[in-house]
Amino acid sequence: MSTIILGIESSCDETSAAVLQDGRVLSNIIAGQEVHRQYGGVVPELASRAHQQHIVPVVDSALQQAGIDKQQLSAVAFTRGPGLLGALIVGTSFAKALALGLDIPLIEVNHMQAHILAHFIEAPRPQFPFLCLTVSGGHTQLVLVRDYLQMEIIGQTQDDAAGEAFDKAAKLLGLPYPGGPLIDKLAAEGDPQRFAFARSSMPNYDYSFSGIKTSILYFLQKQKQKDDDFISRNLMDLAASIQYNIVAMLTEKLTKAANDLGIKEIALAGGVSANSGLRAAVQQLAEEHGWRTYFPALEYCTDNAAMIAMAGYYKYQKQEFCSLDVAPVARYAM
Ligand code: KG4
Ligand code: ZN
């Protein structure tokens, strides 16, 4: 008999549901939330309300597109955390009610583990042990992955996440939220060596992105005093230089960890892994160091329920179910 898992994701500003049959994605429906754009960032309460509106139609579409009736489901997997508590409560409550109603197991999933397990949705799949740099709007983690559910964070940001650094820098350039993809686009036409920004250095494999943000802010303030149109005149070079500096910080620690641990299987995960500068830099390093690199398809880099269902599938095989009194958590260690 096949194993059919429904995955539910509601940790931030994407309501998503996916159906997975024996590890194969049958559907992956993602509803974004435009409402936050005008505020320049995700507004938690508006996110919860939008999840509440989207959850039923999104789950219905996922089942319909998969051609699966809910009676056929083997289990329901949902994001327990980390994320926005009010947003997580929507997916958690829905998953519980469905598991209770259908009398099937409930599986709680760590969203950051799921980002990494997105690598197992499609080939090529990394070999254990591998290093995964998970870079999103909320997290920056360097993770040693020993097995599907055995992961250790060996380094992480002590302040802003990499995606946040991109978005905040973009905001300083007057770009709309989320600015990361716009910086990527503009950077393609600019000179990455034109401007240098002070990067903070952290011990071990940890990261800090607050220093570079301040450095960009002071630099722009000074230039604007001399030339009111400085940003618009130099937009592409600014974007390219900002991207170059953030990427250099990310790859420096990744290289150090790979060398120290003697690992050549290198993976990227999370929304920022869509960044073309980061992908190119990692590809270049791969040639120098003989790494094999793994980048998930864009659909599985940003928040999605297919990765939650995938994590649920591995937990299902180990019979790692949770009870109906489980509560979501804003912070969730691996
Ligand atoms: O993983 P994700 O979709 O959501 C979470 O934060 O969990 O990541 C979103 C982040 C945003 O900060 C966005 O600006 C950034 O990923 N991002 C990018 C690119 N695409 C998305 N940053 C730089 N270059 C991109 N191409
Ligand atoms: Zn995420």
CA distance 133 to 123: 18
Sign of the CA dihedral running 170, 174, 176, 182: negative
Tell me the β-bridge partners of 293: 266
Is 305 in the same domain as 181?
Answer: no
For residue 330, being part of any structural domain is answered with: no
Residue 327 lies in a domain: no
Same domain for 150 and 58: no
Distance between Cα 110 and ligand 1 center (Å):
19
Mean pLDDT of all residues in 51-68: 98
3-state SS track over 94-154? HHHHHHHHHCCCEEEEEHHHHHHHHHHCCCCCCCCCEEEEEECCCCEEEEEEEECCEEEEE
- SS3 of 288, please? helix
**pLDDT tens digit string along 25-59?**
999 999 988 888 888 888 899 999 999 999 999 99
* Rounded distance from Cα 271 to ligand 1 centre (Å): 4
For residue 303 and ligand 1, the question of a CB distance below 6 A is answered with yes
Q: Are residues 33 and 130 in the same domain?
A: no
Does ligand 1 lie within 6 Å of residue 273's CB atom? no
How does pLDDT run across 255-272, given as a tens digit for each residue? 999 999 999 999 999 999
Q: What is the pLDDT of residue 41?
A: 82
Q: Based on the structure, what is the number of domains in the chain? A: 2
Same domain, 86 and 180: no
Contacts for 330-333 with beta carbons within 8 Å, 24 or more apart?
Answer: 330/81, 330/82, 330/83, 330/84, 330/85, 330/88, 331/81, 331/82, 332/80, 332/81, 332/82, 332/110, 332/111, 332/112, 333/153
Q: What is the pLDDT of residue 201?
A: 85
The reply to whether ligand 1 has any atom less than 6 angstroms from the CB of 16 is no
Q: Range of 242's domain? A: 126-296
Rounded-to-integer distance, Cα 203 and Cα 226, Å? 37
Dist. CA 123 → ligand 1 center (Å): 23
Nearest ligand 1 atom to the CA of 138 is 6
332, part of any domain: no
- Does the residue 326 lie in any domain? no
Which residues neighbour ligand 2 (ion) by CB within 5 Å?
Answer: 136, 303
- Three-state secondary structure string covering 19-48: EEECCEEEEEEEECCHHHHHHCCCCHHHHH
Give the per-residue pLDDT at 39.
Answer: 83
Residues 187 and 201 in one domain: yes
pLDDT at residue 320 tops 90: yes
Ligand 2 centre from 82 Cα, in Å? 9
**Same domain for 54 and 138?**
no
Measured distance CA(151)–CA(141) in Å, rounded: 11
Query: Which is the closest atom of ligand 1 to the Cα of 302?
Result: 3
Distance 112 CA to ligand 2 centre (A): 7
Its pTM stands at 0.94
* Mean pLDDT across 235-264: 98
* DSSP tag of 207: B
**Do 98 and 133 have their domain in common?**
no
Q: What is the mean pLDDT of residues 168-189?
A: 96
The CA dihedral of 304, 307, 309, 312, to the nearest 10 degrees, is -140
- In short, whether 163's Cβ falls inside 6 Å of ligand 1 is yes
- CATH number for the domain that contains residue 240: 3.30.420.40
Residue 199 lies in a domain: yes
Higher-scoring residue by pLDDT: 201, 79: 79
For 182-236, what is each residue's pLDDT tens digit?
A: 999 999 999 999 999 988 889 899 999 999 999 999 999 999 999 999 999 999 9
Residue 200 has a pLDDT of: 83
86 lines ligand 1 (CB under 6 A): no
Q: Which of 33-47, 159-173, 234-248, 294-308 has the lowest mean pLDDT?
A: 33-47
Joined tokens for residue 333: 């260690």
Summary mean pLDDT of the chain:
96
Tell me if 260 is assigned to some domain: yes
Residue 42 is predicted with a pLDDT of 85
Same domain, 306 and 292: no
Is 197 found in the same domain as 103? no
Q: What's the order of all strands across the beta sheet hosting 75-81?
A: 24-31, 15-21, 4-9, 75-81, 106-110
In a domain, 331, yes or no: no
Any domain includes 234: yes
Mean pLDDT, range 299-324, rounded to an integer: 97
If asked whether residues 81 and 49 sit together in one domain, one would say yes
Same domain membership, residue 177 and residue 215: yes
Residues 79 and 209 in one domain: no
Distance 324 CA to ligand 1 centre (A): 33
Ligand 1: which of 36, 268, 272 to mutate, most ligand atoms within 8 Å of CB? 272
pLDDT of residue 40: 80
